[in-house]
Structure 1
């Protein structure tokens, strides 16, 4: 068994075998040069420098064998072996990089070591590119990983791609870095797919913010009963349609407040660092170029607009500004 493993490693030029061959060749080269009396090449720094320039075919010429025996050793043993090992190592290195790039391009990359990033679970040809554009325009600099069952080819530079057999597959979700993701957005082809994928995500991610898109209110209630920490967004939003009927133009304003790509103001949220009145917090944000519109206390599901409220440390503050304001 061990001989077979050694044979396979040697036949495939495993990095360990290649390193061992290089070490043996360097040691034999040094011994032969010492036997030939090439004292100028025997100190560690001089030998490593000379061996590296010889193996890479640079050959500066400032160090070279002086005796006839030394030159023959270099010509018939050092040069062929060093150059062959050097070119093999370079070829294997580029082949490894090429294979890694190809795997990532085809969605076979592994991003489980990432943390604090954003994972988009599910792909919709119209909605997903817009979501990615919005995230990038937000300017927080978080990495984006897209997990989809479609055989996409990751040519974009704004996100990483993971091809999954199913949106609920734990191995693929882990490969996308879901357990340590800061935010996860789930949007499946149907509500049942979204529900199943959200349950799979929450089983792996306990601390990140999970958002899912659902169409059916009963499904949303079922998810809220089992995963109250998940934020559910209903699509299409009936409230937005009714609001547009009652107050013409309001739908465009709300869309602008939700978008980072428009030139107008955008709705942002931050965490209160000091306890103060609503008016004091509003004045503080106004000096920074923002308008405070609502606050949300700990344990409260919905933001409220109450100018007489008192802001506590840790409350969420919702404000409108052209750009996100530093904490």
Structure 2
């Protein structure tokens, strides 16, 4: 019996390591042999297509209802010496293989080994710092009308596992290098909609940014955080398509002590989970020319939103806060506003907005 058990285990193992297509081929071949054997044995009732599939399922699952069985000696012998053992082995191996596939997929997801090359319009976060990274992603997820549904956390730490498994829209990729072309293809960098760079140090952030800058599409917005403001200015001079910024603790402290409640206002403007917050919108090409006063009135009275700034560049380097009411706004301008939720370009009647008057 130990010999038979070992033989059974070895057969199951050999079947498990087969590729799915080869395994399916073996299953089909087995069914063909079974159908041929039962046909040659004269078991016409069992070779009816419906009865045959049902009978094979009963045999493989070892349920044994007893409502179908061979009627002749040849059929019984064929069932005893081939069909029962072979079907049970294939069924056991098949169920084990299915479980193994799901387990492998889960491990690949946890360890960051999945392939995301088919992704499009997603967010990529380069670098993982647990406290800041988790809070950043949670803030993005609070924006229910965001244009990017999936977020990929990307790190080179091979000891790190998926840090936010509880969020179905968050993926995890462990890469060998932030600058490896094949790895960047695996996370579909060229088709990303947003890219965030927050590495462990400013040198890594600069390296990633210099690699990413020419590879992203024109519509992709890239932001990079620096601990040192001089490093932020350095990259800003070389990569004009990246919005670079650094820690603003000193400025926030100064504003808070001079203007009570300023820190609360700044925090709420940054967190969509706390009510009205800051959003940015690109005016579409179909929008007519208008003045700031027209758009400000339209947003306030029709959409309960407040216009507070405009810029021509996506990075906001030329941002003008509280622009003069007679300033002209054209298609392609970025407007910055405060609202309870994000407004999409199609939500706004631009022709009506251009006609608003006091």
TM-score, L = length of structure 2: 0.78
CA contact (8 A) 2:16 2:96 kept: no
| Corresponding residue of 1:306 | 324
**Matching of residues 109-258 of structure 1 within 5 Å:** 109-139=114-144, 140=146, 142-150=149-157, 151-156=159-164, 157-158=166-167, 159-207=170-218, 208-236=220-248, 238-258=250-270
| Corresponding residue of 1:5 | none
1:283 equivalent among 276, 290, 297: 297
CA contact (8 A) 2:126 2:153 kept: yes
CA RMSD, Structure 1 to Structure 2 (Å): 2.8
CA contact (8 A) 1:119 1:144 kept: yes
Aligned equivalents of 2:201, 2:163: Cα separation in 1: 26
Shift of 1:319: 1.4
Shift of 1:69: 2.6
CA contact (8 A) 1:10 1:17 kept: no
Shift of 1:119: 1.1
Structure 1 residues 169, 94: CA separation in 2 closer, same or farther (over 3 Å shift)?
A: same
Aligned equivalents of 1:78, 1:10: Cα separation in 2: 17
Tell me the secondary structure at the aligned position of residue 317 of structure 1: strand
Shift of 1:62: 5.5
Shift of 1:183: 0.8
Shift of 1:194: 0.6
State the Cα deviation string for residues 39-90 of structure 1 (Å, max 9, x = none).
2333444433433343334556565433343233223322221121121011
The number of residues matched between the two structures is 319
Shift of 1:294: 2.0
Shift of 1:126: 3.0
Contiguous gaps of at least 5 residues in structure 2: 1-12, 348-358
Shift of 1:25: 1.4
State the Cα deviation string for residues 137-196 of structure 1 (Å, max 9, x = none).
122362121112342222522222222344434444433332322111001122111100
Contiguous gaps of at least 5 residues in structure 1: 1-7
Tell me the secondary structure at the aligned position of residue 79 of structure 1: helix
